[in-house]
Structure 1
């Protein structure tokens, strides 16, 4: 069963979809954390449906300023605010009779993995978190790109303009991720299928992204569990991002590598979907059901 739900995060109304498996609850429940600019079902609907088929309730939702959720400026992406949105989602779930509030997990992909790890590091209600292909120090990732200092100067100027005038401009996601043509091609091809998805973000909010370091709180997740899933040929996320976070995390923890796979292949019908969900299924079975 799937139904539309609404809840509030710091006074902002958020829109989501709750999926509940057949049978008698309450059920262990997983919040799906979408990636950069993605709305609730862009590329993650198959993951949610897989989890429901295996006995989990799931919540997919739009962060503030995106999709069908309220919030202005539109497309402003501030990671700590998205962490607050996920924590509000957990609070909302705890009020539902279908949900076992003692068995809550997070599943995040790309930037959603970063948000999931940061949330789990702050909120002990998260009993298990799966982080797929996500940066753990966004400044470290961006500084590795040629021309970062000049680009960052423009971002900081945009931040100053926002602070002094409340004016924003946006940058298209495909332009921002141009180092990975395959992912950009997927964005441009798939975006028309999702009318509520606007694949862009405010330029000044990149300053907030550059300052976001989920790795700083990853050790706080223990003794709760964390699984990292790293595509071997990820052109967007530096190869050491997830291993670095794994090294800092406490037990129980697991890191798996998807040999030969790229960032865009972890989604939907991509070659990484099956091994990712197999690993996630085993992980959640061990730490949310057992």
Structure 2
């Protein structure tokens, strides 16, 4: 396996990432990986990319625009549709490489990008296989349930303050933490103390470019995000959905409901027992289990002699 620095253009700006190539000669199948809320490329994704490359599948891990080492003028701004376009441009980059088989491309996503992977499977015919882990399904329902009635009122007050600021002073905007240690006292987009502590530890150990912040407009856009209308379009793309038992961050009931809307017979649901949303980042055994399921799925459907 060999990892190299790469970059590609996405709507006039440069996205940067790592390309993991398997041993041997191509052309190889390839998978694109990108992260969830505020993630940078160092956050757990290299573990999955290494597992895919060791199985004979090239893997591209990249930072979206506005995050990490990629360009972008509005730092820490998370526009899900711009992120999906970054995924598409990553696919366009891969299909132009001599050692990549453009007819065997896949996408992998986790949390916010788990939803993106499902949308890409529905809207980009180049995607021949997908893995969606603990995906965000419905931003509006997710935020209402995660924050509760009183917290949701506070969230909306902040969004309206940001809208007013951006109208009165174009170019200025408010920011909100990804998570806080005391969600009852301090507003964060994802009001779970374990999220704050897990990502704090990851920043200290493996992802120094991670920032615990996004624009408030990012949350405004999250409230308009809904994957289900797209899952109904996945007719023939092998789709693996991995959920964590009793996940109350991105809501495993919504994840299972979205899985049930996928019409293709080429689908599989894996529920990881005794696992939470955040232990998929902090517990190496659970990380290995998820990576094993994802690797087996891509191996089956993208390598020669597989099911597809």
TM-score (norm 1): 0.95
Describe the superposition over 1:62-119 as per-residue Cα deviations: whole angstroms up to 9, x where unpaired.
1000001111211010100000000000001011012111111111111120121122
Q: 1:222 is matched with which residue?
A: 235
Aligned to 2:232, the other structure's residue is in SS state: helix
Task: Give runs of aligned pairs for residues 75-114 of structure 1, distance below 5 A.
Answer: 75-114=76-115
Q: 1:273 is matched with which residue?
A: 287
Please say if 1:195 is aligned against 2:208.
Answer: yes
Task: Single out whichever of 217-226 and 74-83 deviates more from structure 2.
Answer: 217-226
Q: 1:172 is matched with which residue?
A: 177
**2:55–2:299: 8 Å Cα contact kept in structure 1?**
no
CA shift for structure 1 position 274: 2.4
**1:79–1:209: 8 Å Cα contact kept in structure 2?**
yes
CA distance in 2, matches of 1:269, 1:151: 31
- Distance change (3 Å), C-alpha of 1:163 and 1:87: farther
Q: 2:184 is matched with which residue?
A: none
Aligned to 1:168, the other structure's residue is in SS state: coil
Please say if 1:153 is aligned against 2:161.
Answer: no
**1:47–1:277: 8 Å Cα contact kept in structure 2?**
yes
CA shift for structure 1 position 207: 0.5
Describe the superposition over 1:178-206 as per-residue Cα deviations: whole angstroms up to 9, x where unpaired.
64322321111221342322231111221
CA distance in 1, matches of 2:263, 2:294: 18
CA distance in 2, matches of 1:162, 1:128: 40
Q: 1:136 is matched with which residue?
A: 137
Unmatched 5+ stretches in structure 1: none
CA distance in 2, matches of 1:216, 1:156: 27
Aligned to 2:301, the other structure's residue is in SS state: helix
TM-score (norm 2): 0.89
CA distance in 2, matches of 1:226, 1:216: 16
Q: 1:17 is matched with which residue?
A: 18
Aligned to 1:263, the other structure's residue is in SS state: coil
CA distance in 2, matches of 1:177, 1:211: 15
Aligned to 2:130, the other structure's residue is in SS state: strand
- Please point out which of 250, 258, 265 is paired with 1:237: 250
Equivalences, count: 290
CA RMSD of aligned residues (A): 1.6
**1:28–1:103: 8 Å Cα contact kept in structure 2?**
yes
CA distance in 2, matches of 1:19, 1:38: 19
Aligned to 1:37, the other structure's residue is in SS state: coil
Unmatched 5+ stretches in structure 2: 181-187
Please say if 1:282 is aligned against 2:287.
Answer: no
**1:267–1:273: 8 Å Cα contact kept in structure 2?**
yes
CA distance in 2, matches of 1:104, 1:163: 42
Please say if 1:28 is aligned against 2:40.
Answer: no
Stretches of 4+ moved more than 4 A in 1? none
CA shift for structure 1 position 163: 4.3
